[in-house]
Amino acid sequence: MRSMWRGAITFGLVTIPVRLYAATEQRDVTFRQVHREDGGRIRFQRVCTRDGEEVPYSDVAKGYELPDGEMIVLTDDDLAELPLPTSRTIEVLNFAPADEVDPILHGRSYYSEPEPAGVHAYVLLREALEGSGKIAISKVALRQRESLAALRVRDEVLVLDTLLWPDEVRVPDFEFLEDDVQVRPQELKMAASLISSMTVDFDPSEYTDGYREALQELVEAKAQGQVIPLPTAAPPEGGARSLLDALKASLAEAEGGEEAAAGGGGRGGRGRGGSGPAGTRGRGSGERRQASGAGSERGADTEKGKRAAGGSGRTRRRAG
């Protein structure tokens, strides 16, 4: 990893020099914009709308447009003169219980690494913070933007989570919130039972990005001059159901999956439509080709087998 920020954590009169590293990364399949006819890459130019001339990057500045259309040009010197005391400091303001921070406020996460001179103070803050069960509410400026942030402990490392400011969170304004919707006790009880039957210990390694895997398979196949037929979604079975009937059928299916998992010695089929990362999504190339066949071998599968493979049972549950 390469550090993207260097400064210090300060709380009270204690200063801990640290470096920050991006804790997460996107694993999306990257595409280029190309000409459909010959695959040539598309090139974009910076062109001034007033004189039509191409503008070199060195002449590009930041502009703020006023409501009347007038453009206020801000230079790097203008921005450098702004007071930003947290540009090289993670300033701890106070401490708070972790569950008091709404997850909707969370932005990006960064690992912090202490400089050699700050290791002792770093470990002290880490141990005290972990023992208290609290997080440190802080302010920090990253990329010329000051953010609220939270320091927490993860895997013996102090992690900085940037937080949104309160006015950056939208208020939900939907018409249905004004409706007086009555939920029947039977429906609520059945939904609670379904939630209970589908509850497992969360292990993120059991889940995979099926769409990304499918894209990679498609790219690899086209690179080799092959075509992978994509499976079609199974149509929903039966006619319209009441909400209670759909809940009952979902609960029966989830409980049936639990029995199959217990008999097979695995965790698959617990209402999640799969038996681990591969079974959960069914995205392997062999499975994809079998799905496209759709007629012979799949037609002989039992309902329990469909649930274990993460196929049509999952589709029916959503449709219900």
Please state, in angstroms and rounded to a whole number, the distance separating the CA atoms of residues 40 and 38.
6
What residues form DSSP beta bridges with 137?
94, 150
| pTM value surpassing 0.85 | no
Cα–Cα distance for residue pair 94/50, rounded to 1 Å: 50
Three-state SS letters, 73-120: EECHHHHHCCCCHHHHEEEEEEEEEHHHCCHHHEEEEEEEEECHHHHH
pLDDT tens digit sequence for 165-178: 999 999 999 999 99
pLDDT recorded at residue 306: 39
According to the model, what pLDDT value does residue 305 have? 41
Closest residue by Cα to residue 21 from 156, 148, 111 = 111
Ordered by where they begin, the domains of the chain are 5-26+82-166 (2.40.290.10), 185-197+204-319 (no CATH)
Measured in residues, the chain has a length of: 320
The residue-averaged pLDDT of 7-15 equals: 93
Q: What is d(CA 219, CA 225) in angstroms, rounded to the nearest whole number?
A: 10
Per-residue pLDDT at 276: 41
Per residue in 178-208, pLDDT tens? 999 999 999 999 999 999 999 999 998 998 8
Q: Is the pLDDT score of 320 beyond 50?
A: no
SS3 label, residue 287: helix
Least confident piece of the model among 42-46, 48-52, 250-254: 250-254
Between 28-37, 39-48, 52-61, 310-319, the lowest mean confidence (pLDDT) is in: 310-319
User: Longest C-alpha distance within the chain, in Å?
Assistant: 74
